[in-house]
Every structure is written in C-alpha cells, then in structure tokens.
Chains A and B, each alone.
Chain A
Amino acid sequence: MYRPFTMFPAVGKPGRTPNIPSKNELSEIDPQKGNSMRMSLLAVLIGLVSPADAMAQAAGTDPLNYSGPAWSPYWVGALIGLLSMLTFYFSNKPIGASTAYARVAGMVGKAVAPRHTESLKYYQDNKPAVDWEVMLVVGAIVGAFVAAWHGGELTGQWLPPMWQARFGVDSYVMRTIVTLVGGVLMAFGARLAGGCTSGHGISGALQLSVGSWIALICFFVGGIATALLMFRL
C-alpha cells in the first residue's frame, strides 16, 4: 500500500528549516515497524528530509503503523457500558455528546442575537444553557487529558502525523478548513439524525432503538466513503 521512496522528493524541499519533532509526536508512531523506519533514518542522515517529515513518511497512511489503544478496547467498551448504567441510574440520562455543542452554540447566539435565537424552533424546544450534557463534554476534555498525561500520550500537535503523511507536513490551512467544514456537516447531520456516535451509536443502539441502528449504519457508510476518497484514492 505504502511506497516509501516515491513520496520523498515531494517533501524534501531544499532550504527548509528542519522542524524537530517533540518526543510526544514521535510516541504516536509505532516503533515496531522497522523497515520503512530504517529507510527514513537513512534519508535523515543523508539530509534529504527533516526528522519530523521522515517520521511521518515512514509511518505513512497505514493506521496500523501508529500507536494502538493504551488499554484493551474490550475493557474500555465494558467500562463505558457500565458507565451508561451509572448515568441512567444517577442522572436519568443516556450518554450523548452532540447536543452539548448545540446548547453552547445557542448560548453564543443568545448573547449575539437574543431575539432571533429565541425565535428558532430548536432553541424553543432545547434551552440554550449549561446542562448535564455540556458538563459531560467539558468533563470528557478533562478526563482525556488526565488519561493521556497518565499514559504519556499527550500529543500537543496541530496536525495528526497520519494527516501529514497524506496532505503534507505544513497543511495547516487545509486541515483547518477541512475540520471546520467537517464539524459543520457533522453537527447538522447529528441534529437531523437525532444524535451522534455516542447518543445513537452507543446509548441508542444499546436500547435497541431502530432509528439509532439506522443512523449508526449511515454514520459509517458516509464516513467510510469520505475517508476512502480522502486517504485511498
């Protein structure tokens, strides 16, 4: 799938200031994959590419060349299932993330254009205020930070290495536009479908909701088509 040498000339621009990768950036790349790694070390030594570029090139766009999950996905899945039981019991709520963004967006909208925001059907049905789910998403940011810090997996990166391997090490503008558009489509789709990968994909699916299973399948159909076009065409 990945061809190490054909991609080098495009990246090894002469006169580029080499950006030294941080330890954390390198930790995303699986050291077990020796072969292409050794070739790129050679490329660094003879001055063709900077170390950061070489690391990205070596791992390429094969996700299996990058680090896996810190814990067994089965353990994590089981614990998320148990966590669902806790949120049902103690908060009478299913885990879900997407409406938190809608509520915060509504709060911003209410600050900028209060009368217009209050006139919108969605915000008449869903009060734009901090609720349980907004706190859940804020907590998720904190929890992920603690987990990454605990496991030495803090990345501190603007571009994921696998993205860099495909779209270039300096593709900041492109990544920003793509994530922004992706976020807009994702939130619109989530609101239309009635939930996201958490709300439909886990909470709805585990309650055997028909709409949730349909939405979950469509999430993956749309996602697989888009990702294949972006990374494998």
Chain B
Amino acid sequence: MPRIVEALADCLEAMRQGEDMEICLVMYPQYRTELTALLQIASLLRPLPPEIAPSFAFKERTKVQILEGRRGQEGSSLAPDQRPGKFR
C-alpha cells in the first residue's frame, strides 16, 4: 500500500496533467479525507506567470555593480536602511 506521501505526489502529478481530482481520489480511498483537504489547498497555489521576470536593464545594472563594486542606490524605492550596500 502506498504511503500518503506517495499518494499525494501521484494525485498532484495527475492533476497537473489535467486529471480531475475526483478520479485521483478514487485510486486512494483509504486517504480520501486527508487527500481531499491537501489537494484543495494545493489547488489554491497559483503559479506565477512566466512573464514575471526582472527587466533586462535591471539585470545588467546590478551585474555591473557586482563587477565594479559600486553603490547602487539611485532611484531606489526602499527606505535608506534597507538599501543595498557596497560590492567590495
């Protein structure tokens, strides 16, 4: 008998492939109650869209700071005590 850890992993994988939750639960009747609760929570964890990424300009600017050891606080939206220090 698979442990609930494996049952959960199987169900999550099946649901990621588009399988209905109810079909997954039928395969593991012994864990039905617990699996239902955990799968419902997992279904509320929404993936971040792939387009959410740092801008090219930011990536290059920060890399230059790393390589040159410069302070990079211009235009920062952070409070002064939260701003980056020096790369040295």
A binds B: no
B interface list, Cβ under 8 A from A: none
